[in-house]
A and B are shown apart, each in its own frame.
Chain A
Amino acid sequence: MRPASYNACFLFAFAVLSVTAACAERSKSASTKAKPHFPELTIKQKLQAESAGGSQSLRPSRLLENRGNAEFALPTALTYANNGDLYILDNNGHAVHRWSGGETKANVFLMQHVGALNFPYAGQIANQRLYISDNDGIKVFSTKGEFERLIRVYFGVFSFAITDKETFLISPLIRKPEAQSPLIVELDSHGKLIRGFGRRPNTHESLDAQAFLSVEKNQLFVAFKYRPVVEVYDIASGRLSRTIDVSHSIFPQLAAQMSAGSEGSERGRLPRYLAGIKVIDGRIFLCLYLPKPEIWEMRDDGQRLRQFQVECPSSALDIFGFDVRARGNSVTIALGLIDPALSPSVAEITTNLS
């Protein structure tokens, strides 16, 4: 062999050694990365994988990914406008992003210095206005983003809905609820309390009173985050008219396995069941809190018509938003997701009504 060949061999061997060393270094570095422990996600993933399935899987038709075609800090809610624009509330970013139909990218619609948003948490669009609850109360903006007024409500707002009489129905967060504290409060358009109704469980640090709301005609649909139940109230009387049990095959085992776990706080032990509800033309669309989010389409008497899973790029550690928009015979569904790396994304799925 000629010296040059020796050297080529030496260089080759050296290159192999370098690559190996670099890989080893990378592997060592990766091994130091602490793996986040999410017991609820792990249990749900296992149960969902073991379940018989049978659900149809749908892929998102559009996707917003953080640091890709959107810049979120920590979003907490989303809501559709009638024209198909999707508004995404960024809690830590003190901003609202708008994702217009046909656009590939979401743009910042409202920033803190424009409307003085202070940790926006929940939002609704009604009467050509955008209503946003934040740490100051409920703020009203025009659809052009002009700030109109602040309604100081003094209730912590988990979620809210707006009736055709322009009253607010709120699922309130109460730090120390009393026996007579209601499940739902109704405020007039100026934010003054009209009445409260519904029985509030007041157990598990009041978590099981947290509910997503949807109004249709004279009915209020209440989907509980920490209970697999939908309650339907007659808005005029405030009376509970019926209860719909959401009987997913994994829910009984989920509750048993979560309560058996010894680690974590109360919040960690209580499983999350429902992630959102929307009722359109007598059809209930319900989002189930699962790593592969599952959406049920039901008649308003609770009879299930169809169920499907959403194919997401990664498991959903959290589902921060759910809304549905109907157009003719098709529906568009928006889902806000947080993956196990705590990175948010928004998926949009279009499908036909069953």
Chain B
Amino acid sequence: MSNPILPKSNASRRRRLLVLVILVLVNLSVIAYLILRRTPEPVVAVDQDLKEIPAVNILADTGANKPLATLIGKVILVQFVNPDVQSQLDSVSQMLTKFGADIWFVLITRDAHVLRERLPALSNNVIVVQQDFTQLKRIFNVPDCCERRFVFNEAGKLSYNDYYYEADLTARINVLLHRQLPPLSDAVLQTLSQLPGTAFDSLRQRAQHTKSGKAAVAVFTSVCTSCQSGELVQVLNQYVVKRPDIRFIALLPVDYTNVDVENFKSNLQVKFQVEKADSAFSREFSKLVSTYGQNRLNGILLLIDRDSVSVVENSDEVDPKLAKL
């Protein structure tokens, strides 16, 4: 009887050896995968008080993998965007139009496809990120409910963050870009000088013909008792009594109706004159708002003393400057 076992045993050993080699290779591959798998994950400690751009990698929807830190050198606007919220999309569009390629935009969203559909033709300085959305929210300390925006300066330090409460970030980004904007008061005065025949010009001329030649004109884009604008109305009401030599005037937006003006007078118990701005003034004032921001322009106080006009930009300056007028 022939013994077929010996040659079969050799073949079997070779097969076993081959299987073993394959399994070792598979294991090594698995180990390599598990090690490499870790690197692109944006795992960093969560900092409740984020102070600088986090050291994380982001994977753009284009497939490009980039550490956020490589964007340092330009101003970086990181926006968590809900593509279903029109105001958030508008905010992105507005910033893209104003700042073009000057800054990096990192738009983090849970649906990059919908975002790109609603914001077509995004330029190369806009990075759209969907990958690791939840983890990125955690890293930036953004709660489940809402979206936030973060502005980092050229050195990667956090300059500003909010929940989209401030409609317009233009003024803040202008400062970071070191854009050589004239001081606000100069810009306002220059605008006024180019507006002969408008509501403000008429007010100035009327003030010049009063005995003291003094007037204080508050220009509003909106007024509310829970805002600084409402507080300014209270201050001016007090000054009407204290300084009868000064003519106090509030200038409301051109699109306010007569009922709006009447409500303003009655609800805030306004003791001074109220007028509506005309179209030309409103148009130029809107340009200033879009450059310097609504926060700095709403409730700006213009002091007229005969031929001269000065600007009170800050609420802290209202008392001392009115006292000096």
User: Interface residues, chain A, CB within 8 Å of chain B?
Assistant: 2-4, 7, 10-11, 14, 18, 21, 25, 29, 32-34, 36, 66-67, 71-74, 92-95, 108, 111-113, 119, 135-136, 151-156, 172-176, 178, 185, 187, 190-193, 338, 341-344
Contacts and interface: CB of A to CB of B under 8 A. Distances in A.
Given A7-B20, A341-B143, 12 more contacts: A2-B16, A4-B16, A34-B46, A73-B146, A74-B145, A152-B259, A154-B268, A156-B225, A174-B225, A176-B231, A193-B263, A343-B144
Interface string B259-285: 110111011110000000000000000
B230 A193 contact: no
A112 B48 contact: no
A344 to B, nearest CB: 5
A3 B21 CA distance: 11
B74 interface: no
Contacts of B227: 156, 175
Given A18-B34, A33-B138, A154 B230 contact: yes
A35 to B, nearest CB: 10
22 contacts: A10-B23, A32-B43, A32-B44, A33-B138, A66-B145, A67-B144, A73-B82, A73-B85, A74-B145, A74-B163, A93-B84, A111-B86, A153-B263, A154-B264, A155-B224, A156-B225, A156-B230, A187-B267, A190-B263, A193-B263, A193-B267, A344-B145
Contact of A32 (B34, B46, B165, B259): B46
Contacts of A73: 82, 85, 145-147
A59 B82 CA distance: 32
B30 A14 contact: yes
B164 A92 contact: yes
Of the listed residues A4, A119, A192, the one surrounded by the most CB atoms of chain B closer than 10 A to its CB is: A192
The 3 tightest CB contacts between A and B, nearest first, are A156-B226, A342-B143, A173-B226
B225 A175 contact: yes
Interface hub of B146, B224, B228, B262 (most chain A Cβ within 10 A): B224
Nearest to A8: B23
Contacts of A29: 43
A247 B28 CA distance: 68
For B46, B143, B256, the residue with the greatest tally of chain A CB atoms inside 10 Å of its CB is: B143
B160 to A, nearest CB: 17
A77 to B, nearest CB: 15
Contact of A342 (B87, B145, B231, B259): B145
B194 interface: no
Contacts of A71: 84
Nearest to B252: A152
B226 A342 contact: no
Interface in B39-62: 43-48
Contact of B267 (A10, A154, A175, A338): A154
B222 A136 contact: yes
A3 B225 contact: no
Contact of A10 (B27, B47, B264): B27
Nearest to B38: A25
Nearest to A92: B146
A175 B224 CA distance: 9
Nearest to A7: B23
A200 to B, nearest CB: 12
A108 B143 CA distance: 21
A18 B222 contact: no
A16 to B, nearest CB: 13
B234 interface: yes
Contacts of B43: 29, 32
Contacts of A341: 143-144
Given A4-B19, A93-B85, A154-B263, A175 B48 contact: no
A344 B16 CA distance: 59
Contact of A193 (B47, B84, B231, B266): B266
B184 interface: no
A152 B255 CA distance: 12
Given A92-B163, A156-B226, A7 B19 contact: yes
A67 to B, nearest CB: 7
B226 A175 contact: yes
B223 interface: yes
Given A34-B46, A34-B48, A154-B223, A3 B16 contact: yes
A187 to B, nearest CB: 7
Nearest to B82: A73
Contact of B262 (A174, A175, A192): A192
A273 B291 CA distance: 44
Contacts of B267: 153-155, 185, 187, 191-193
Contacts of A67: 144
A115 B86 CA distance: 12
Q: Which of A10, A21, A93, A112 has the most CB of B within 10 A?
A: A93
Contacts of A108: 84
Interface in B202-228: 222-228
B34 A175 contact: no
B303 to A, nearest CB: 22
Nearest to A343: B144
